[in-house]
C-alpha cells in the first residue's frame, strides 16, 4: 500500500471519527482532504470500501507499533503494558462510542472482520505479556492466562460501546486508563504492584 494512500486512509479515519460514519459523504471526504473524487476512487470503490480499508490499516499499524514483540525486547512486562496503554489512550482521545454503534448497524460485515482480527491481535499480545510477567516474577503465578486475556478483550470492547456509558459523558481515554490500571492490579503480585506504583510516581 503506497504511502499517499495510507495518508488518505488515516485522514479519512480521523474525519469519520469526528463526524460519524453515516453523516460523512465521499464528497465531504474529498473536500476536507483537498482531493478530487477521481483521486479517491483510484484507491477505493465506494464509502464501504474506504471504511474497510482504513480499518485494515488500523490493524496493520497496531501490529507494528503496539503488538510487535520486537519493539519491547529490553522492557519488562509492566513497562510493555504501560507503553501500550499510552499509545492506546492517545488513540482513544477523539474516539466516540457512537462510531462503534454505526459500524455494527450499517457496516456489519466490515465490523465483524475488524473485530475478529482485533480480538486475535489483542489476545496474542496480552497472552504473551502475561507469560512474560509470570516468568519475570511480576505477575501472580496462579492467574488463568486464557481467561484473563479474554476478560481484557471484553473490557476493551465494552469501553468502545455506547451502552457502557448509559448516557453519561465520559472521555473514552479516561475510562480506558481506569480499565488498564484495574487489569494490572488484578494480575500483579506484591513485587509487580510495587514496581507499578513506582512507575506511576515517575510518570
Going from the C-alpha of 118 to that of each of 20, 62, 78, 122, 154, the distances in angstroms are 21, 9, 22, 6, 12
As its CATH architecture, domain 1-65 has: Orthogonal Bundle (1.10)
Closest CA to 56 of 118, 109, 119: 118
pLDDT of residue 167: 62
pLDDT of residue 165: 78
- How far, in Å, CA of 159 to CA of 165, rounded? 8
What are the sequence ranges of the domains in the chain? Answer: 1-65, 69-203
- How far, in Å, CA of 24 to CA of 17, rounded? 10
pLDDT of residue 1: 63
Global pTM? 0.89
Residue 157, helix vs strand vs coil: helix
Residue 139, helix vs strand vs coil: strand
As its CATH architecture, domain 69-203 has: Orthogonal Bundle (1.10)
Grid cell for residue 67: 503488538
Q: Do domains 1-65 and 69-203 have the same CATH topology?
A: no
Residue with cell 504492584: 193
Going from the C-alpha of 80 to that of each of 18, 40, 44, 129, 196, the distances in angstroms are 30, 38, 36, 8, 12
pLDDT by position in tens, the chain (length 203): 699 999 999 999 999 988 999 999 999 999 999 999 999 999 999 999 999 999 999 999 988 877 777 777 789 999 999 988 988 888 888 888 889 999 999 999 999 999 999 999 999 999 999 999 999 999 999 999 999 999 999 999 998 887 887 666 678 888 999 999 999 999 999 999 999 999 989 97
Are the C-beta atoms of 145 and 127 separated by less than 8 Å? yes
Grid cell for residue 35: 482531493
- What's the sign of the alpha-carbon dihedral 101, 168, 95, 178? negative
- How far, in Å, CA of 112 to CA of 133, rounded? 31
Radius of gyration of the chain (CA): 19
Amino acid at each position: 500500500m503506497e504511502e499517499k494512500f495510507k495518508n488518505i486512509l488515516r485522514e479519512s479515519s480521523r474525519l469519520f471519527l469526528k463526524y460519524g460514519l453515516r453523516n460523512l459523504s465521499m464528497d465531504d471526504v474529498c473536500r476536507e482532504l483537498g482531493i478530487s473524487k477521481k483521486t479517491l476512487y483510484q484507491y477505493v470503490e465506494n464509502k464501504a470500501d474506504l471504511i474497510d480499508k482504513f480499518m485494515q490499516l488500523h490493524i496493520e499499524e497496531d501490529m507494528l507499533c503496539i503488538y510487535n514483540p520486537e519493539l519491547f525486547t529490553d522492557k519488562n512486562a509492566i513497562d510493555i503494558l504501560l507503553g501500550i496503554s499510552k499509545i492506546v489512550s492517545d488513540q482513544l482521545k477523539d474516539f466516540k462510542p457512537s462510531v462503534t454503534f454505526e459500524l455494527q448497524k450499517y457496516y456489519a460485515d466490515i465490523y465483524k472482520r475488524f473485530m475478529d482480527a482485533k480480538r486475535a491481535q489483542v489476545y496474542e499480545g496480552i497472552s504473551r505479556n502475561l507469560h512474560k510477567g509470570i516468568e519475570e516474577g511480576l505477575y501472580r503465578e496462579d492467574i488463568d492466562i486464557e481467561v484473563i486475556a479474554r476478560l481484557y478483550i471484553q473490557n476493551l470492547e465494552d469501553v468502545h460501546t455506547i451502552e457502557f456509558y448509559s448516557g453519561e459523558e465520559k472521555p473514552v481515554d479516561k475510562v480506558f486508563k481506569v480499565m488498564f490500571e484495574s487489569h494490572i492490579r488484578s494480575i500483579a503480585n506484591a513485587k509487580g504492584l510495587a514496581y507499578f506504583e513506582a512507575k506511576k510516581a515517575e510518570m
